[in-house]
Amino acid sequence: MKRQGWVLLLAGVMLLIGLVAGVGAEEGVTATEIHIGQWGPQTGPAAAWGSVARGTDAYFKMINERGGINGRKLIHHMFDDAYNPAKTKAGVKELQEGTGMFAWVSGVGTAPGLAVRDYLMERGVPWVGPSAGSLHWVDPPHKYLFAVYPLYALEARALCRYAVANMGKQKIAIIYQNDDYGKNGLKGAREELARHGIELVAEVPVNVTDSDLKPHVMKLKKSNAEVVLLWTTVRHAVMTVGISKAMRFQTQFMSTSTCSDFPLMMHISKGAWEGVIAATFAELPDSGYPLLQTYKQEAFDQYAAKGERWGLFYYAGIVFAEPLVEAIRRCGDDVTRERLVQELESLKDFKGISGKISYKPFDPNDPSCRQGQSQTFLVQCMAGGKAKQLTDWATID
């Protein structure tokens, strides 16, 4: 009897020490929980991107259902910033200084992200997978910022390379959104074509608020482009393709991964999207890739709200969170920020549902040390929103 009492006491003390150690270990980490923050526009003009945050939420719930990571549950804190940087900063500060986040994941938009980047970096809070393929994240690189989304320029390169090398096209034009996103695509296309000694035959900017794209399409038509790159929002891409159809302007359209959700694109374009080639950064919604199917069944089917759609934006939320989850898993019991950074840096060819992700030890002069994903593959939209794979995953330099 006496011995048992000792054992119990010992166990109790150990537990207490464990708890205290757990509490003192790191901000946002306790013996049973890890707090992860995220922002995403649920209201405002960019609200269509809001499903990214909801996707991450379902993914975390799935992990928790399976017992969490090494016994700790992931507590997901997401808030709506309406794509307004002032609100993003307010929300990030509130959560970081109130509850205390261990790390941040995803976060939609270049401008909102840039408003909080310095704040998070100065505090040494890791931030994994901003959902925008901007150069701002990796050039110059930051120790605690890990980009997942392939650079916009990279997709443009892949598409141009395919158009020139595989399809033998010479006349390539681009319609791009007049912001960071579009300009990066433009830059990528120019650089890639310069290698082949070709110039873009037309560069047509479009503003986010434009509602009449006929002048833009006329410009494209006049250039007689054989290939038109679409570096715009979903809405403008659909309008461009549709108006071209109405104007009997026949050309091969190629689009960014933003518009690679073919079932959605076919639906809202009323079928005009057929034949468009797109770059993608993740497996396709209807692909039979086993891990993707697991996510669909265990995360989406279980936790998605009524009316949610299993689309690209939704599981992009999973893509951006995968490396973070993997790194926390590798941390074992020692969940600290320094350890997390080490584990992220040691990721080599990690394969989730996107292309392979690798990071390198921090080097302030090497942007690629924080750009995890540089792979893409091309698909073509077929009747009924089915996708035909044109190339395999390929790393674009």
Partner 1 sequence: MDMKRDYYEDVQLFTSGVVVFWMAIMLAALAIFPFLATSYYIYMANFLAINVIVVIGLNILVGYAGQVSLGHAGFFAIGAYGTVILMTEVHLPFLVALPLAGLIAAGFGFLLGLPSLRLEGPYLAIATLGFGLTITQIIGRIELFGGRQGLHTPELFIGPWHLESDRDFYFLLIPLTILLALTARNLIKTKVGRALIAIRDAEIAAETLGVNLMGYKTLAFAISAFYAGVGGGLYAFVLRFIEPEIFTLLMSIMFLAMVVVGGLGSIMGSITGACLLSWLDLQLRNILSIPYLGKWLEALSQEWFSITGVSNIQLIVFGAILVLIMLFEPLGIFGFWIRAKKYWKTWPF
Partner 2 sequence: MIDFIQMLINGIAAGSSYALIGLAMVIIYKTSEVPNFAQGEMALISTYVAYMLLEQHQFPSYLAFPLSLVFAVVLGCILEFTILRRAKEPNVLGMIIITIGIEMILMGLVSWKFGAEQKSMPFPISPYDSVMIGDFFVSTLEVLTLVVALCTMIVLFLFFRYSRLGMAMKATQQNPMAARIMGIRTRRILMATWGISSLVGASAGLLLSPVIMQPYMMWDPMLKGFAAAVMGGMTSLPGAVFGAYLLGIIENLFGGYISIEFKSVVAFAVIVLMLCIRPSGLFARHYVKKV
Determine if 42 is a binding residue for partner 1 (CB under 8 A).
yes
**DSSP string covering 209-244, please?**
T----HHHHHHHHHTT-SEEEEES-HHHHHHHHHHH
Which of 10, 86, 165, 382 touches partner 1 (CB under 8 A)? 86
Q: Cα–Cα distance between 187 and 183 in angstroms, integer?
A: 6
Determine if 205 is a binding residue for partner 2 (CB under 8 A).
yes
E strands present in the chain: 33-40, 73-80, 103-105, 127-128, 145-146, 172-177, 202-206, 227-231, 252-255, 277-280, 350-351, 356-357, 375-381, 387-389, 394-395
Amino acid present at 284: L
Partner in contact with 211, chosen from partner 2, partner 1, none, beta carbon below 5 to 8 Å by kind = partner 2
368 secondary structure, DSSP code: G
Binding-site size for partner 1 (CB under 8 A) equals 41
Helix (H, G, I), strand (E, B) or coil at 136: helix
Determine if 94 is a binding residue for partner 1 (CB under 8 A).
yes
> Residue 145: how many CB atoms within 10 A of its CB?
21
Binding part of the chain for partner 1, among 152-160, 215-223, 267-275, 303-311 by CB under 8 A, reads 303-311
Q: Find the shortest distance in angstroms from Cβ 360 to partner 2.
A: 37
Helix (H, G, I), strand (E, B) or coil at 305: coil
Tell me whether strands 172-177 and 227-231 are parallel, antiparallel or unpaired. parallel
Q: Find the shortest distance in angstroms from Cβ 190 to partner 2.
A: 17
Write the binding mask 150 to 179 for partner 2: x where contact by CB under 8 A, - elsewhere.
----------------------------x-
Binding-site size for partner 2 (CB under 8 A) equals 41
Determine if 274 is a binding residue for partner 1 (CB under 8 A).
no
What's the number of CA atoms in the CB half-sphere (13 Å) around residue 100? 11
Determine if 214 is a binding residue for partner 2 (CB under 8 A).
yes
Q: Cα–Cα distance between 20 and 396 in angstroms, integer?
A: 48
Q: Cα–Cα distance between 269 and 205 in angstroms, integer?
A: 21
Binding part of the chain for partner 2, among 72-80, 119-127, 179-187, 215-223 by CB under 8 A, reads 215-223
Name the percent of the chain in helix, strand, coil, to the closest 5. 45, 20, 35
Determine if 207 is a binding residue for partner 2 (CB under 8 A).
yes
**Nearer of residues 55 and 323 to partner 1, judged by Cβ:** 55
Task: Look up residue 253 and give its two tokens.
Answer: 């359209």
Write the binding mask 58 to 97 for partner 2: x where contact by CB under 8 A, - elsewhere.
----------------------------------------
Q: For binding to partner 2 (CB under 8 A), which residues are involved?
A: 42-43, 45, 47-48, 50-51, 178, 204-207, 209-212, 214-216, 218-219, 222, 234-235, 238-239, 242-243, 245-248, 264, 267-270, 272, 307, 309, 311
Q: For binding to partner 1 (CB under 8 A), which residues are involved?
A: 42-43, 47, 50-51, 54, 79-82, 84-87, 89-91, 93-94, 96-98, 110-111, 114-115, 117-119, 136, 178-180, 182-183, 207-208, 305-308
